[in-house]
Structure 1
Amino acid sequence: MRLLERESSLASLAGYAAEAGRGEGRLVLVAGEAGVGKSALVERFQQDMPAARWSWGACDGLFTPRPLGPLFDLAEQLGGPLLELCRAGAGREELFRGLLREVGDPARLDVVVVEDVHWADEATLDLLRFLGRRLRGSALLLLATYRDDGLSAADPLRVTLGDLASQRSTRRIDLAPLSTRAVRELAGGSDADAGALHRLTGGNPFYVTEVVQAGMHEVPGSARDAVLARAARLSGAARQVLDVAALMGTRVEWRLLEAVTPCPAPAVDELLACGLLTGDGEWLRFRHEIARLAVEGALPARRGRVTHGLVLAALAALGCDDDARMAFHAEAAGEAAAVLRHAPAAARRAAWLASHREAAAQYRRALRFAAEADAATVAQLCEELADEAALLDQWQDAAEACERALTQWRQVGERLREGSALRRLSRIKWNLCHGEVADAEAAVAVLEPLGPGIELAWAYATLANHRMLRYEHDLAEPSALRAQELAEPLGATDVLSDALNTRAACAWIRGAAWEEQMRRALKVALAGRHQDQAGRAYTNLVAMHSGRRRFAEAERCAAEGIAYCDEHDLPTYGTCVRGELATIMERTGRWEESLAISSAILATVGRSPSNRMCTVRRIGSVLARRGEGGLWPHLDEAAELADRTGEPQQIVPVRLTRAEAYWLEGRTSQARHEAELAHDVAATSDAWDRGAVAVWLLRTGSPRTPHGVLPEPYRLELDGDPAGAAQAWSELGCHYDAALALSGTNGEPELREALRILTDLGALPAARIVRRRLRGLGVRSLPAGPRAATREHPSGLTRREREVLALLCAQHTNAEIAAKLFISVKTAGHHVSAILAKLGAPSRAAAADQAVQLGLTEADAADAIELTVEQPAKLGSLPPAAGADHNEQKRQMIER
């Protein structure tokens, strides 16, 4: 294919190569529709860079891919320690780091090409993320080509592209179709009308070339017709070779082709001359996947099955160890025994490399051919499929597979496996919001008579987890301790991590020390490479720090947890950690961010009811606080799912969110009913949940008595010190809670402060309630609604955030900002974080630079500081003796 209208793309690649050669590694995403010339561009660029070391890998769309197929391609070319790791069956982390060591030498420019990543398995996508984050300081130019047409909204590549785009080393080249002039030039001496050719091919270089090379006088309706027109002119021997090659993949080994069909030299020469195939060392390669698909699609089904059988036999004779490839040909040939031999092996290898989607696909393939298999084989396959589906957040599929396994184990009388299946099923049902512990108790009952073992240890660990989730910690702890005692002598570190995690959670619920034990659970999981247990530990670390309102630590753990889950293809726990992060945003008034994260979770297919329940509750909460419509369908769904679990930790937050929503709408009796429903199950809840129940009982006029000892902010409000409660909430960064505490007072300064906070947050319903209270006190000069500065600001900064940004531009530290605005250092830090997020700025200096573009002049800064001294100090921020000096302090600040 002649390369036309690609000069700018080649120049960009040359520039990126120069940057990589200086030690500023680059990842270049080369995107375009099928046939637009992505590979042709890279191949031409290779001619321009002969001094670099080039290595190529490709993803194959012919079959469920072998995980990390491109990495293994690269290892064959690069050799050395990387190839040894591949042959030794090393884990993915070792393979990733082995490749980086091989191509990361800053003294030599390496160009690594990964083609067709739209077909990539999950581990390969993770490899691109891994390399993309580590290009700095290397002389590596990584080129990834992919089709950007036809990607579904849920395609994993879309998520990966978003992650890669955020990396400083990433660049993108989009290849557009050719112009009419270029099509005319490409068509050369063809008598086809260039304008018509351009319209019908859309300027796609491959389509244009096929039409021209097929020698057609009219433009066909598809490239398929053009390909087949060329293929029809081949001799019988050449066409036979072409048909067999089309069933083998885009790249075909010479020796494999020779083993399946006679390959007379004239026939091969004829194929190469016609342009449908090209030679590539020991391989033959279709010039484009579109051509291969056209040839494959024209083959009769029976001939295809026979040929796949021949390919399968030839691969076996050649010692092929690619079980994914063998399973594909076995299925296409209809050979059940071969499918059952290769598909499970391919699945287990995929799971080892954390390509869980590919693993699940292989188990499903095996089960399609398991009609004649024995019950134990079917049960084993179903259990393994259930585990992979669970990691993919496909809980209904997991439940169906596990129930089928349980039936099969009972059929063959395998009590040990029956107990293990019951334990697994109980965990799956929890994620479907069926929180009963019956299956976990049944598992223990089945396994206990069989004596100590890993299965019994897991059963006790699972039972402990269920009881902890129901806040039955007095029952949970002995079960968790029993699991730990069974696991340690067996070296079952995954069970040990799970038990330690549950014990830490029980301690947290009781208000005892918990963090050291949870950290140990995480350490054990990471050391043992137990990915699901590490995901659980990260999720609970974030949730527990957030539950104690230690938001800075919670956000640090969330960043670590999200990175780990994304790198290890753990969407279930990745969703959980992101959900906990959204809860932090909800609690700290960053509602737009909370809503964005929650909406993204909700839009992703396959999310479990448990994750969905938490997500719709958060969305309903933010909509209620902002006075927007559509909240009740979310809160009704959340209530139905929470009640189904029977767990206080789920029921209390949902019922209190509903109580608040009713209260904001002025429906006090309904709000009281919801608060009392939360109170019904809160006796064993942790102190913060009990405190939340207590204040909502107070606000809704319920006569009920709070349960137990409560944290300081709640206790102060219940003791009649709303100003003290507000100060405590502000210190924690919970400004909405501070405003609600102040809203219950009768003092004008306190209510004005509440109104300011609520207006800045965009909490319109609560602001209306406070405004009514102020008018009831006879106050008339009140702001009518959201501040114009917030509405009009290009990045949606509140007035307070503009004040902080002004001081940040003046290079003040958080402590200095806090002193000038009469807020805590923590609160100043929260404001700075919110400003950086809204501006999309990576640093304080970058935010200051953007402030100029946003129109924050020196006069704005002066106005902002003037505003701060005109406000009364935050309640509780000045000692009583300082009040007399406040006017003098204000005068001095103005003079400064």
Structure 2
Amino acid sequence: MAVRAQPACRHLCTAMCPNPPALDELLASGLLVADGRWLRFRHETARLAIAQAIPAHRARSMHQQLLAALCGHCCADEARMAFHAEASGNGEAVLRYAPAAGRRAARLGSHHEAAAQCERALRFADGVGPAERAELSEGLADEAALLGRLSVAEDAEDAEDAAERALSLWREAGDRLREGAALARLSRIKWSMGRGRDAVAAARVSMSVLEPLGPTVELARAYATLANQRMLFAEYGTATTLARRAQELAERFGATDVLSDALNTEAVSGSCQSLEWLVLMRRAPDIALAGRHRKQAARAHVNLSVIAVEQWRLAEAERYIAEGIDYCGDHGLATCAIRLRCEQAKLFERTGRWDEAMALTHELFRDADQSPVNGLGGLIRLGVIRARRGEVGAWECLDEAAAIADDQDEPPCKVGTRLASAEAHWLADDHMEARREAELADQAAGTSVPWQRGAVAVWLRRTGSERPAYGEVAGPHCHLLGGDTTRAVHAWTRLGCPYEAGMALLDSGHETSLRQALTTFADLGASAAAALTRRALRRLGARAIPTGPRGTTRAHPFGLKRREHEVLGLIAEGHTNARIGERLFISVKTVDHHVSAILAKLGVPDRAAAGRVARPSSAQRSPDGILECRRRSRCWVFSIAPSALVITLGARCRTGGNGVRIATIIIGALMAVNGILGLLTGQGGLGLAAAAVRVVSAVGAE
């Protein structure tokens, strides 16, 4: 039982135990416990201690006996059989059970287990033929790709290596059909790694290998793969043609996974061309779910969310993202889950929830093995928010993002990166560089989607470029370019995008609008944009221009906002996130993001450390606590300490008679009382202290 690492059937233990009464003694002693027909160790530490004490040769023999016993009992648990086969050194049994265990784990959505079983089989595959090794390598490549293990794994083989090995083995075996399929697989992996040119090259070679072989499922998959690549390169007409070829072959051969994939790609291409796309996108996941193709269902969740975010339908996007994250979490689809969380962070940025966007982005970089494609959006987000806030570190992020976008060579990626750089230069008052970046974005955009085309046109005008806007432009951008600032502001406000509304107000150039923009930027913490707005107001000759950040944020020693300070106080009191949400009438997810922002600002690793920071002097650390300390210090400096001096002067006064002397002593006593009340309540005024000083001065003059 110690070498099994899991509970054992009672009849199996009885069959293997040379002294069955010993089992009863172990149960009576409490070392083992019975759980129905299963026996297990009461404590895992006891099992580990016994397992470590067994010599290696004895353990190997025990695994051999267990494997034989399980075979005799017709055990259907391939994973258990593969474990004992490997531990006993039985390579033939490993190759029999591990691949089957991997396939079963993949069907159940346990992709870590599936990858581990493929790796186990490959450790014993040196003596088998190239075709069998190629199939095992393909299984590992697929599972590693789903887990996000592209080319970053240090302690395990990554997807690219496994896919490259499978391709080489199929070529060695002389199987052109499987070679073409392996090239399509490699293309998808290379795209996830941010190597767009290499991905397209592999997809084209795949088609050239497969087309001479006639209509096949593999050719359908190659068409679908290249269709996706062309769509990402903004060649929407070509992508649609290839996607329809893939659909035709997929329907002919009943390949519902390929059919779902191709419908998905056609839907995205249609959305980028302002064509009908929703019917296709709804059909894609329905087909995937009916065929139990979880990867394709997850891709539909991702692309539906991406379209909604890119079209600024943010309320819908928030719902799609939440549903997609739940689905991917339930089925162990880590790569798709990461992509959806990246879209969630972008949604937070667009809706003005910058602290939540920053916290989630930092969390993804810290805890997730992101592909360059997913990391690109995070770098742009960090860079542009830092630039808007006037914080350091913006250009490190934007320069790295530009390098990734150039490697990926996809126009939408280039446009997003160049526009972010244009905004950062513009906020820094470097209009020449801002104009250059905006024109590079225009050069990459071509006739891209209306929303991106509109953003490019706005930044061309904002930076003073003489390039004309062309192509279809989306609503708020169209209003702004047409000079209707009011409609643009209302449109952005309806969409829930305060920063874009503030930028539209800033573009208007009117004092009232500029003041509204300044308030918006101050609320967001966009200090760089606020500084530009103040300069615009000064050029208009405006007076009484507000300066600096909001008082509560400025006063807090850690820069926490009011809501973050409230959450920190409840953390210090030991409340859970659920309880904090109930107390503050906000969702648990919102509390999660506030907690992440608090940890980042405090520079602490967990909520317990944050509680310790807040607990010792929470009143003094809060903005209200700081003001309270200042009030009480003021009471001491201006009331209590001078009162002693006033009373002493009154007692020693030799001029003005007893009336002046008594009056001075009374005023000094009142100052002392005022100061003591101020220390107790924090409500000490300075009026009486000032009056007393004037009386003393008058007495001195006499």
Bin the TM-score by the shorter chain.
0.7 to 0.9
**SS of structure 2 residue aligned to 1:285:** strand
Amino acid at match of 2:65: L
Instruction: State the alpha-carbon separation in 1 of the partners of residues 190 and 585 from structure 2.
Output: 40
Matching of residue 369 in structure 1 with residue 124 in structure 2: yes
Query: Where does residue 603 of structure 1 map in the other structure?
Result: 366
Query: Where does residue 174 of structure 2 map in the other structure?
Result: 413
**SS of structure 2 residue aligned to 1:744:** helix
Closer, same or farther in 2 for the Cα pair 1:739/1:256, shift >3 Å? Answer: same
**SS of structure 2 residue aligned to 1:704:** coil
**SS of structure 1 residue aligned to 2:40:** strand
How much does 1:681 deviate? 1.0
Instruction: State the alpha-carbon separation in 2 of the partners of residues 743 and 751 from structure 1.
Output: 5
Query: Where does residue 255 of structure 1 map in the other structure?
Result: 11
User: 841, 852, 861: which is aligned to 2:586?
Assistant: 841
Amino acid at match of 1:515: L
Query: Where does residue 147 of structure 2 map in the other structure?
Result: 392
Matching of residue 540 in structure 1 with residue 296 in structure 2: no
Query: Where does residue 59 of structure 2 map in the other structure?
Result: 304
How much does 1:718 deviate? 2.5
Closer, same or farther in 2 for the Cα pair 1:605/1:588, shift >3 Å? Answer: closer
Query: Where does residue 84 of structure 2 map in the other structure?
Result: 329
Instruction: State the alpha-carbon separation in 2 of the partners of residues 752 and 707 from structure 1.
Output: 32
Give the stretch that moved more between structures: 522-531 or 292-301. Answer: 522-531
Check the 8 A contact 1:330/1:338 in 2, yes or no: yes
How much does 1:748 deviate? 0.8
User: 702, 716, 724: which is aligned to 2:465?
Assistant: 702
Alignment of structure 1 residues 806-885 onto 2, 5 Å: 839=584, 841-842=586-587
Check the 8 A contact 1:797/1:838 in 2, yes or no: no
Query: Where does residue 503 of structure 2 map in the other structure?
Result: 740
Instruction: State the alpha-carbon separation in 2 of the partners of residues 726 and 272 from structure 1.
Output: 75
Considering fraction of residues, name the structure with more helix: 2
**SS of structure 2 residue aligned to 1:778:** coil
Check the 8 A contact 2:421/2:437 in 1, yes or no: yes
Instruction: State the alpha-carbon separation in 2 of the partners of residues 264 and 730 from structure 1.
Output: 77
Amino acid at match of 2:429: G
Check the 8 A contact 1:620/1:631 in 2, yes or no: yes
How much does 1:585 deviate? 1.6
TM-score for the superposition, normalised by structure 1: 0.61
Alignment of structure 1 residues 347-362 onto 2, 5 Å: 347-362=102-117
User: 246, 251, 275: which is aligned to 2:2?
Assistant: 246
Query: Where does residue 430 of structure 1 map in the other structure?
Result: 191
1:562-598 deviation per Cα after TM superposition (whole angstroms, max 9, x unaligned)? 1211111111111112211221221121112222222
Closer, same or farther in 2 for the Cα pair 1:842/1:712, shift >3 Å? Answer: closer
Give the stretch that moved more between structures: 454-463 or 708-717. Answer: 708-717
Query: Where does residue 171 of structure 1 map in the other structure?
Result: none
Query: Where does residue 552 of structure 1 map in the other structure?
Result: 315
1:474-500 deviation per Cα after TM superposition (whole angstroms, max 9, x unaligned)? 211110110011111222221111111
Query: Where does residue 403 of structure 1 map in the other structure?
Result: 164
Closer, same or farther in 2 for the Cα pair 1:282/1:726, shift >3 Å? Answer: closer
User: 199, 211, 214: which is aligned to 1:451?
Assistant: 214
Alignment of structure 1 residues 504-515 onto 2, 5 Å: 504-515=267-278
Check the 8 A contact 1:672/1:700 in 2, yes or no: yes
TM-score for the superposition, normalised by structure 2: 0.77
User: 334, 340, 353: which is aligned to 2:95?
Assistant: 340
Matching of residue 496 in structure 1 with residue 259 in structure 2: yes
Closer, same or farther in 2 for the Cα pair 1:394/1:523, shift >3 Å? Answer: same
**SS of structure 2 residue aligned to 1:456:** helix
How much does 1:840 deviate? 5.2
Amino acid at match of 2:352: G
Alignment of structure 1 residues 560-575 onto 2, 5 Å: 560-575=323-338
Q: How many residues align?
A: 566
How much does 1:258 deviate? 3.9
Instruction: State the alpha-carbon separation in 1 of the partners of residues 188 and 321 from structure 2.
Output: 24
**SS of structure 1 residue aligned to 2:508:** coil
Instruction: State the alpha-carbon separation in 1 of the partners of residues 68 and 439 from structure 2.
Output: 70
Instruction: State the alpha-carbon separation in 1 of the partners of residues 582 and 354 from structure 2.
Output: 12
Check the 8 A contact 1:472/1:684 in 2, yes or no: no
Matching of residue 654 in structure 1 with residue 417 in structure 2: yes
Check the 8 A contact 1:795/1:838 in 2, yes or no: no
1:236-286 deviation per Cα after TM superposition (whole angstroms, max 9, x unaligned)? xxxxxxxxx321234233332344441252x44554455433455544322
Query: Where does residue 29 of structure 1 map in the other structure?
Result: none
Alignment of structure 1 residues 623-634 onto 2, 5 Å: 623-634=386-397
User: 39, 44, 63: which is aligned to 1:284?
Assistant: 39
Instruction: State the alpha-carbon separation in 2 of the partners of residues 348 and 572 from structure 1.
Output: 19
Check the 8 A contact 2:447/2:471 in 1, yes or no: no
1:69-88 deviation per Cα after TM superposition (whole angstroms, max 9, x unaligned)? xxxxxxxxxxxxxxxxxxxx
Closer, same or farther in 2 for the Cα pair 1:471/1:274, shift >3 Å? Answer: same
Amino acid at match of 1:489: R
Closer, same or farther in 2 for the Cα pair 1:738/1:639, shift >3 Å? Answer: same
Matching of residue 531 in structure 1 with residue 294 in structure 2: yes
How much does 1:683 deviate? 0.5
- Larger radius of gyration, structure 1 or 2? 2
**SS of structure 1 residue aligned to 2:507:** coil
Amino acid at match of 1:406: L
Question: Once the two structures are aligned, what percentage of the paired residues are identical?
Answer: 52
Instruction: State the alpha-carbon separation in 1 of the partners of residues 73 and 480 from structure 2.
Output: 77
**SS of structure 2 residue aligned to 1:284:** strand
**SS of structure 2 residue aligned to 1:334:** coil
Check the 8 A contact 1:723/1:750 in 2, yes or no: no
How much does 1:674 deviate? 1.8
Closer, same or farther in 2 for the Cα pair 1:300/1:758, shift >3 Å? Answer: same
- C-alpha RMSD of matched pairs (Å): 2.5
Matching of residue 293 in structure 1 with residue 48 in structure 2: yes
Instruction: State the alpha-carbon separation in 2 of the partners of residues 501 and 298 from structure 1.
Output: 56
Closer, same or farther in 2 for the Cα pair 1:791/1:540, shift >3 Å? Answer: farther
Give the stretch that moved more between structures: 665-674 or 485-494. Answer: 665-674
